[in-house]
């Protein structure tokens, strides 16, 4: 059986081959992880945030497919120089549009990238012991989806282990 490659557009392929802001940031103000390597996609976002709550720099590490790397890369480009409140408003759909579109089976990559960003923002304020009025207490759609994907990966890993033990 032959495999048909996913129809990635040129921008996704370029960001996959030459990702922007790839790598661990040693002096990050905050870092957050979303995903699970057992399901194939995992992202760590690193943010350097100044005293005015502006993202000065952003980088990421990724274990995942072309769409995972491309969406993570574009998020780091989109948020540079943004106030955290504005970065919080970024949606996975905006990320998908920014990369020129994604195959529907890869929408979760944009969701995961934004979920990691929002986790980092939430963690930053938790570490500071403050909660700005705009930061909703309830998890965002992207955070919920990232959590759901992580839980599903745990269930699948347990099932696979049980199958191996048979």
Rounded mean pLDDT of 135-163? 84
Residue 83 neighbours by CB under 8 Å, 6+ apart: 52, 53, 54, 55
Rounded mean pLDDT of 154-160? 77
As given in the structure block, the two tokens for residue 83 are 């106030």
| Residue 160: other Cβ atoms inside 10 A | 11
Residues forming the active site: 39, 109
**pLDDT above 90: residue 160:** no
pLDDT at 119: 95
- Band of the pLDDT at 37, cuts 50, 70, 90? low
Model confidence pLDDT, tens digit, residues 47-94: 999 999 999 999 999 988 899 999 999 999 999 999 999 999 999 999
The model's pTM is 0.88
Choosing among 3.60.10.10, 3.40.50.300, 3.40.50.1950, 3.90.1010.10, the CATH entry for 10-159 is 3.90.1010.10
DSSP 93: H
Model confidence pLDDT, tens digit, residues 82-133: 999 999 999 999 999 999 999 888 888 999 999 999 999 999 999 999 999 9
- Band of the pLDDT at 4, cuts 50, 70, 90? low
- For the chain, which residues make up each domain, given as ranges? 10-159
What is the distance between the alpha carbons of residues 133 and 91, in angstroms, rounded to a whole number?
A: 19
């Amino acid at each position: 059986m032959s495999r048909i490659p996913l129809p990635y557009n040129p921008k996704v392929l370029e960001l996959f081959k030459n990702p922007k802001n790839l790598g661990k940031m040693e002096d990050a103000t905050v870092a957050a992880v979303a995903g699970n390597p057992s399901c194939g996609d995992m992202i760590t976002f690193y943010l350097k945030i100044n005293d005015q709550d502006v993202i000065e720099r952003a980088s990421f590490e990724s274990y995942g497919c072309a769409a995972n790397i491309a969406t993570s890369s574009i998020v780091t480009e989109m948020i540079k120089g943004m106030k955290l409140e504005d970065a919080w408003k970024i949606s996975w759909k905006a990320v998908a549009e920014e990369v020129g579109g994604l195959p529907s089976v890869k929408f979760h990559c944009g969701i995961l990238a934004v979920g990691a960003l929002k986790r980092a923002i939430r963690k930053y304020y938790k570490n500071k012991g403050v909660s700005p009025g705009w930061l909703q207490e309830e998890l965002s759609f992207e955070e919920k989806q990232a959590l759901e994907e992580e839980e599903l990966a745990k269930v699948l890993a347990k099932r696979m282990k049980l199958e191996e033990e048979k």
